Structure 1
Amino acid sequence: MMGVVGASIGNFLVAFDASAINVALPTATEELHATVDVGQWFLDGYTIPLCVFLLVSGAIGDRYGAVKVYRWSMLAFLAASVACAVADTAGTLIVARIAQGVGASFVVPMTLAILTKGIPDPRRRSTMIGAWGVVGGIGIASAPLLSGLITEYAGWRWLFLINVPICAFALRATRTIANIPADQPRRFNPISQLLLCVFLTCIASVLIEGRRLGWSSVSTLAMAGIAVLSMAALWQVERRSAEPTIPPALARNRSYLLIVCAGSFYQFASYGSLLVLALFLQVRHGLRADHAGYIMSICCVAWLLGNVLAVKVTPDNRRQAILAMAAVGCIGAVGTAALSLTEKIVPAMVPTSLIGVASGVLASSLSAAAMHVSPHTVSGVGSAVLNTSRQSGMVIAIALLGGLSFDHQLLVPMLLVASAFAIVLVTTALAFRPNLFKQSSAQRLQSSACQFPSRG
């Protein structure tokens, strides 16, 4: 049990470090004499490599074993956290955050792969994945309040220094876990990884820098063009590859792909709402970091409640839970957008409790649904693809909603959040259509059966 806790702590750290800097962003930007646009790279400098290297980490985890890769990545994350804490310029912090994101990209899929491979019983595995989601949810939900208090009374650098003892505990706890036997080794294509990195970086650059340079400027249009070309090239490379980044067992699984799509829009909505609220309270209303954290606790406490409720979600009621929570999140975002027009802070924050509950339940429920319909033989890559999709949603949320929050307060950003929750509802409903679900289950059983003789 201690080993499972140690593995789940990695999920907490990655989630916390993605969210904590939101509240500290105005303070860190001012202290390092950075502009708003540069400050957004404090966030995307972490999330872009986190997203890009997830697919590589999944293949490496399948090759060398999840536990071994997890422990090495935690050491890298620890070192990068120290570098973030001592950064004395904006450029240094961005570089350190990139290194931290690379380490985090190897932590996330390994935690899920450890649970998926190490717990054969489906119901117990579902429960433990729910607990895994709770730990990650605690990282996200506690980040605004803890970040506000730490930033106000100790300084934003301590947001990174507190990672040191937590990483040390995780490393000690996971010594008790035997390294998960590696699956059949899979190669990864560095060209695909490079093209994905170029695509996400250019998209983020367009959304962040386009506001400053102008949407029709040569630089903005050039970055948009490179993004389109890199995505087209990535599509061609994957089509012609003998061993594509996404295995055929996943690429042909329509239920899995739809759930992965839902995961991306979920992350856009849940993480984006926290970023929007933090900027709204501090930049628009001039609140201190700790006061903003207190007010955001309305959403965050509800998020924790949602994580607790998520443990009760089983394979039998998962479909209903996901659809219901997507609808609840959509209602909460629309309510927040509407009440923000009154210019009264507290009333506008009340509907964010609905966003929090929905986000808490959906986090682990979508993960469990995706892992349920994906073959166990490629669970490492399966979890990496899922998390890559989710983190790409976070990248776009930072780049798009961060800028809109300065121009449109809560109205437009929250309507976009509501739209994302609505897309989660639609894609999940399609994924759980009986004919699709039966097909995915059949594919999963067929894949497992094909692997069975090799174990004899």
Structure 2
Amino acid sequence: MRTDPEPGPVVGGRRWLILVVLCLATLVLVVDNMVLTVAVPALTESLHASAQNIQWVLDSYILVFAGLLLTTGSLSDRFGRRRVLIIGLAVFGVASAVATLASSPGELIAARVAMGIGGALLMPSTLSILITVFTDEAERRKAMAAWTVVLMVGMVGGPVLGGVLISHFWWGSVFLINIPIAALAIVSAMVLMPESKGPWRKPDPLGTVLSIVGLTSTVWVIIELPKGLARPSTLAALGIAVVTLVSFGIWETHIPEPMVPLRLFKQRNFAGGSLSLALVQIGNGGLVLVMTQYLQFVLGYSALKASLCFIPLAVAALVFNTLGAGLGMKFGNRPLVFVGLLICAVAFAVLAGLGTNDGLTKLFVGMALLGAGSGLAMPAAINAIMGTVPPEHAGVSSALNDTLQQTGAALGVAIMGTLVASRFTASMPADITGTARHSLGQAMATRDAQVIDAARHAFTHAESVAYIAGGIGALAAAIVAVAVVRNTKPPTAPAEGDGDGDRDGVNEGALVAAEA
């Protein structure tokens, strides 16, 4: 097997500048996804888009993004992580420029597809470059915490930024902001980043096709799930997903140089951490969707005021991400993941108690708890996962982790959306019929005080059920974490006589590489 020389270690403050670039690349993705949620009413009116058009504007991106992640992660390992990152940023920036000029729903959907391709190229590269640049465990924890903060701040700041832009400019401005960020990240990457890649491997065209078809079909099923599983198109997609993913698993475990190293799931930290993150993302995935409706329709807040209510979540995540980096070196990953996920479960329980006339105290407490729990758990879980990964598989392993989280988030939107819709209809009085019985927005549009009051109460009941489901997901994730994940002790203080001590964390990645 031919190998390509790896660059020497990145020394001095340069690696922290590289982290800034990686955070910029991540920020442009997260902000774009979240900022679009508040632009939907404006672009609907401007482009005369139907409900189906809007669904495709939102879903086309995630369909392409999730479907290509494993393939693009493998490409980054093969052809160079910096190169693929730069290409992804360029594609994303150009597609964003096209989106700002869209004059029809079809043009915007095409631009979103291109943005999904760019996002799939750059997302796996960010995390894989991070773990190859930061080889010291203490520094890696700090870098991982900073990277996770960017994810959380982008998730919360996206709607805030979107509200400001929509209030002062046209809907296309939510895509326009991507262009300078992408350009800055490209220039910085070219100047600061060393290139890194894994050993040369034979191409795996069949594995590539099976992964793309299987993942795209899976996401399609999740998106269509709220409409009913019995629909012929949904059943067909489900059958294709099952057949192709099972075939992919069999194929990848029987060829000498697989595209995706599925043997990583034999490592308890990788398997347990991945499953924990996927489970908690089921709850987090639908949170913004449900909470935004509660704030705007039930409490009557504007889009900007509603988005500002997410600030406690971002602040708490920032504080506890920073705190968790130090605690992780002292206590290891498993306690942080477990405690953080338990706090997330408590947060969902608090949010489940929100009513139609509650003030902001309960809301802010729930949001702050969710930020604190996520701030403790997510960096520790990702550190546990990526600590098991050998350098040559950094890109595709990062993509595998991203895929599981994206699938969990998409499943969360489908599950929580379906729960809210069904419980809302069931909770509406029998004498209210028509579209107002099935849609909170339509009920508010009737301007009938009795219908509006009934809809507000029905929605708060429905969202409580959804938050309880999110809490159950977080609790299940905590149980998985404590049962499966091995505790990663700091390498400077191994336990004497502990036969498993050297198999944890970063050293476990070396073991996988040796076994390969």
Fold conserved (TM > 0.5)? Answer: yes
Shift of residue 396 of structure 1?
A: 1.9
Kindly indicate whether residue 80 of structure 2 is the aligned counterpart of residue 65 of structure 1: yes
SS in 2 for 1:88: coil
Shift of residue 324 of structure 1?
A: 1.0
Shift of residue 336 of structure 1?
A: 0.8
User: Could you say which residue in structure 2 is the equivalent of 1:256?
Assistant: 270
User: Could you say which residue in structure 1 is the equivalent of 2:509?
Assistant: 444
Alignment partner of 1:425 out of 478, 500, 503:
478
Shift of residue 101 of structure 1?
A: 1.5
Alignment partner of 2:242 out of 219, 228, 232:
228
Shift of residue 256 of structure 1?
A: 0.8
**Structure 1's 353 and 164: CA in aligned 2 closer, same or farther, altered over 3 A?**
same
Kindly indicate whether residue 294 of structure 2 is the aligned counterpart of residue 280 of structure 1: yes
Deviation per CA, 1:155-211, whole angstroms, max 9, x where unpaired? 332111011111111122222334333220234534444444444444444444454
Alignment partner of 1:414 out of 434, 443, 467:
467
Whether the aligned pair in 2 keeps the contact of 1:59 and 1:381 (CA below 8 Å) is: yes
- State the alpha-carbon separation in 1 of the partners of residues 67 and 265 from structure 2: 18
Q: Which amino acid aligns with 2:412?
A: A
Whether the aligned pair in 2 keeps the contact of 1:117 and 1:180 (CA below 8 Å) is: no
**Structure 1's 119 and 162: CA in aligned 2 closer, same or farther, altered over 3 A?**
same
- State the alpha-carbon separation in 2 of the partners of residues 46 and 399 from structure 1: 16
Gaps of 5+ in 2: 1-15, 425-458, 488-498
Shift of residue 359 of structure 1?
A: 2.3
User: Could you say which residue in structure 1 is the equivalent of 2:388?
Assistant: 373
Q: Which amino acid aligns with 2:509?
A: R
Identity percentage of aligned residues: 27
**Structure 1's 374 and 52: CA in aligned 2 closer, same or farther, altered over 3 A?**
same
**Structure 1's 27 and 189: CA in aligned 2 closer, same or farther, altered over 3 A?**
farther
Q: Which amino acid aligns with 2:302?
A: R
SS in 1 for 2:354: helix
**Structure 1's 17 and 418: CA in aligned 2 closer, same or farther, altered over 3 A?**
same
Map 1:46-445 → 2, pairs under 5 A: 46-187=61-202, 189-212=204-227, 214-247=228-261, 249-282=263-296, 287-317=301-331, 318-340=333-355, 342=356, 344=358, 346=360, 349-350=363-364, 351-407=366-422, 408=424, 409=459, 410-433=463-486, 443-445=508-510
- State the alpha-carbon separation in 1 of the partners of residues 226 and 150 from structure 2: 36
- State the alpha-carbon separation in 2 of the partners of residues 259 and 265 from structure 1: 10
TM-score by length of 1: 0.88
SS in 2 for 1:9: helix
Whether the aligned pair in 2 keeps the contact of 1:19 and 1:140 (CA below 8 Å) is: yes
Alignment partner of 2:60 out of 22, 45, 48:
45
SS in 2 for 1:243: coil
Deviation per CA, 1:288-337, whole angstroms, max 9, x where unpaired? 32122123334333333343434434343332221111011111112111
Deviation per CA, 1:88-122, whole angstroms, max 9, x where unpaired? 23332222212112111121221222221123322
**Structure 1's 306 and 21: CA in aligned 2 closer, same or farther, altered over 3 A?**
farther
**Structure 1's 133 and 210: CA in aligned 2 closer, same or farther, altered over 3 A?**
closer
Report which of the two structures shows the higher radius of gyration computed on alpha carbons.
2
Whether the aligned pair in 2 keeps the contact of 1:23 and 1:144 (CA below 8 Å) is: yes
Q: Which amino acid aligns with 1:432?
A: V
**Structure 1's 388 and 211: CA in aligned 2 closer, same or farther, altered over 3 A?**
closer
User: Could you say which residue in structure 2 is the equivalent of 1:454?
Assistant: none
Larger helix percent: 1
**Structure 1's 24 and 271: CA in aligned 2 closer, same or farther, altered over 3 A?**
farther
- State the alpha-carbon separation in 1 of the partners of residues 75 and 145 from structure 2: 25
Shift of residue 6 of structure 1?
A: 1.4
Shift of residue 75 of structure 1?
A: 0.7
Q: Which amino acid aligns with 2:94?
A: A
Q: Which moved more, 1:429-438 or 1:160-169?
A: 429-438
Higher relative contact order (CA 8 A, sep 6+): 1
- State the alpha-carbon separation in 2 of the partners of residues 402 and 381 from structure 1: 31
Deviation per CA, 1:259-290, whole angstroms, max 9, x where unpaired? 11122223333332122212333355554321
SS in 1 for 2:310: helix
- State the alpha-carbon separation in 1 of the partners of residues 244 and 177 from structure 2: 38
**Structure 1's 362 and 107: CA in aligned 2 closer, same or farther, altered over 3 A?**
farther
Shift of residue 139 of structure 1?
A: 1.5
- State the alpha-carbon separation in 2 of the partners of residues 315 and 372 from structure 1: 13
- State the alpha-carbon separation in 1 of the partners of residues 310 and 64 from structure 2: 28
Whether the aligned pair in 1 keeps the contact of 2:223 and 2:410 (CA below 8 Å) is: no
User: Could you say which residue in structure 2 is the equivalent of 1:8?
Assistant: 23
TM-score by length of 2: 0.78
RMSD of aligned alpha carbons: 2.8
SS in 1 for 2:328: coil
Whether the aligned pair in 2 keeps the contact of 1:149 and 1:293 (CA below 8 Å) is: no
Shift of residue 231 of structure 1?
A: 3.0
Gaps of 5+ in 1: 452-456
SS in 1 for 2:387: helix
Q: Which moved more, 1:273-282 or 1:157-166?
A: 273-282
Shift of residue 133 of structure 1?
A: 1.9
- State the alpha-carbon separation in 2 of the partners of residues 345 and 36 from structure 1: 33
- State the alpha-carbon separation in 1 of the partners of residues 343 and 406 from structure 2: 22
